[in-house]
Structure 1
Amino acid sequence: KTGYQNMEIQYDYALGMPLKHKLMPQYLSELGYETHGFGKWNIGHCNEKYMPHMRGFNHFLGYFCPGHGYRDYICGLEAGVKDMYEGFNDEVSGQTWGTGEKYQGTYDTELYRDYSSRVIRKHAKTFGNSTNHKPLFMWVAHHAAHGTYDSEPNPPDSLMTDENQKYIAVLKKREDEASESGESKFFGKRLITATLIMSVDNALKDLVGALEETALMNNTLLLVNSDNGGDPNYAVGHPGNNFPLRSEKFYYFEGATRVPAFIFAPGMIPSALQGTTFSGMMHHVDLLPTFV
């Protein structure tokens, strides 16, 4: 409907997802949900009406560009734009937004992990097991493992487990061996990709931990999916690998469009169906009519 399927909206683009298209948080907000968003927006910010806090989110902390620095949030090498935004639209804060300059220096996966977990704990503390429980919708679009202007993003220790560190040590050893033998720096590039994937895995683990800690997990539906296949030819940063699927990000073959996804809802999905696999077609456009 929009023609944006293979285009990224840059920091200085005067366009966005048309306002006539109603988004999922707008529907859910009308249904009484408290709505929070974290991470990548990238569907338009040329006017305040296009920003997340005006399109259904009570609170949104994230960025507008296709990608930015993991700690300095710089988007657009030529302009040096620091891209981090926080917006509110609720009874307490009203309709307001500003730059997220105070967060600069915090690794963004860690930032979204901490704030999303904080929302869960605050929600549980406010409503508990009340019969007037206000439902919560939270959308977390991590920057990782996206390409970046940082040559080596280096996730903080809080996002890496001991097991991760042992695996990284093995990869570093293999990289050194490849360097000595004159092989390409492929292993070094893949090492960066591996650390970014691990950091997202652990951020998700901590989010689930917050849901379990607050006894909300059994009344929660958690959907996790990737947005596109990797780009093995990434000129800046770190490459992906879609083998055995054909092609890559920005194209229309399976290497670009077929990605992992799962639903975890232990209190909603019957035990007989837990662990089952669906290999048919599913697209993110199916989610709105399914959930709303």
Structure 2
Amino acid sequence: MTGYYPYHTGLQHDVIHPSIPGFLPANFTTLPQKLKELGYVTHMVGKWHLGFCNWKYTPTFRGFDTFTGYYNGAEDYYTHVRGDGYDFRFNTDVYHPADGEYSPNIIAQRAITILDEVDPRNESLFLYLPFQSVHAPLEVPEKYERIYSNIHNKDRRIYCGMVSALDEAVGNITAVLRKRGFMDNLLLVFTSDNGGPTYSGANNLPLRGAKTTLWEGGTKGASFVYSDTLLKKTKYLNTEIIHAVDWFPTLLRVAGAAPDAGIDGMDMWSTISENTTSPRTEFVYNIDEIKKNAAIRVGDYKLIEGSAGAFNGWYPLPTVEGSLQAGWTGNNTDHAIDTSDEYRLYNIKDDPTEHFDIADKYPDVVEKMKQRLAEYKKSLVPANYPPPDPKSDPKYYNGTWSPGWC
């Protein structure tokens, strides 16, 4: 949304929980704000999760012309309740017509309504659709779960059904894009934001770890880009180094503008559209001064400082017998933090599954990586993670999660 690493925005320690007055600071310009300067209409449908304790941190104050969705990071897919509060809005108003409707269907229906109201011949559109799927809690209409009746593990069965429901929703939106003529000059980006939660139906094999960790299984995401007209090279697998912060300058490049100087993101349009070599040779996974851990990638090497987080094994797909494949180990119920080594070093090109810590074998590489990490740490913005504020309680806002308490 900004082109900056979390440790440069103060959001590196944890996600923004409902009662915590955390937020993306207002001094950071967002992608929709930049696109509005270029004359785009900007719409958002789905999950915000960048702070809501004050109205100025909510979507329609951060560059979006309209917002339909929820402020928090997770909620019930049907009731749209998180804890003691209802959380679904249309712009700034509580949106109760969403009651009982499955979240992906609401998002798709609203997206289609927006597409019907925009003239692709005369208007430039940025439509941001952060779907709730396939985030916990695991919920899906039964017809999608039945597709995977051969899967005996219920969590995995529901998870797969959620993927199918999401796929159908995206397909319905894409059909309208084509019918209304948007495809003549459109770039469609579909991307994940982190690895899967193996404790909630997901699977990252053969990668190590899970969501919330610094392992590849927790941080490596999949994306695809589609366009009828804008890509010079198509139908290929891009294996270059691209970071999530790179979407900001890349999409601005496609729109015809340059990002502000000094951001962490890099323009990847040539890399994506032509399969040229990535200009990026290194990146920061995260730097968390509260957890006292960090990880960086430089070339083929990855350095982890401190604990990489819980869920540090290799988690197999569940079987009927609940047995594990030989060589793949891990306990999805074990939340213990492994702090056995201060530094770990992996060659991600040769060992993408992070089986072999080579820190003792290459102490000179470790030292160089430590020096590079120290350079990155110099620009760290202290984590903004205050304690929960009782003024956030939904009982003060007619049973809803609402701005107005920070």
**TM-score over 0.5 for the pair:** yes
- Of 217, 225, 234, the residue aligned with 1:274 is 234
Q: Which amino acid aligns with 1:195?
A: G
Q: Deviations over 1:152-198 (max 9, x none)?
A: 622375xx5xxx85x42333xxx2xxxxxxxxxxx111001101111
Determine the structure 2 residue equivalent to 1:168. 148
Partner Cα distance (1:19, 1:202) in 2 = 36
Whether the 8 Å CA contact 1:107–1:156 is kept in 2: the answer is no
The within-5 A match list for 1:248-287 is 248-270=210-232, 273-287=233-247
Task: Give % identity.
Answer: 27
Residues 1:13 and 2:23 are matched in the alignment: no
SS at match of 2:150: helix
Residues 1:102 and 2:97 are matched in the alignment: yes
Partner Cα distance (1:6, 1:194) in 2 = 30
- Of 215, 226, 250, the residue aligned with 1:290 is 250
Partner Cα distance (2:36, 2:142) in 1 = 35
User: RMSD in angstroms over aligned alpha carbons?
Assistant: 1.6
User: How many aligned residue pairs are there?
Assistant: 245
Q: Which has the higher helix share?
A: 1
The within-5 A match list for 1:225-264 is 225-233=191-199, 238-264=200-226
Determine the structure 1 residue equivalent to 2:82. 75
Whether the 8 Å CA contact 2:149–2:157 is kept in 1: the answer is no
Residues 1:145 and 2:125 are matched in the alignment: no
Q: Which has the higher contact order (CA 8 A, sep 6+)?
A: 2
Determine the structure 1 residue equivalent to 2:154. 188
Q: Deviations over 1:205-260 (max 9, x none)?
A: 11110111112112110000011111112xxxx32111100111011111011111
Whether the 8 Å CA contact 1:25–1:56 is kept in 2: the answer is yes
Determine the structure 2 residue equivalent to 1:154. 140
Determine the structure 2 residue equivalent to 1:91. none
Q: Which runs of 5+ in 2 are unaligned?
A: 1-7, 253-406
Q: Which amino acid aligns with 1:15?
A: G
Could you tell which deviates more after superposition, 35-44 or 212-221?
A: 212-221
TM-score (norm 1): 0.80
SS at match of 1:61: strand
Whether the 8 Å CA contact 1:218–1:268 is kept in 2: the answer is no
TM-score (norm 2): 0.58
Task: Decide which structure has the larger Cα Rg and report it.
Answer: 2
SS at match of 1:141: coil
- Of 43, 49, 56, the residue aligned with 1:36 is 43
Q: Which amino acid aligns with 1:98?
A: D
Kindly state the Cα deviation for residue 19 of structure 1 after the two structures are TM-superposed: 0.3
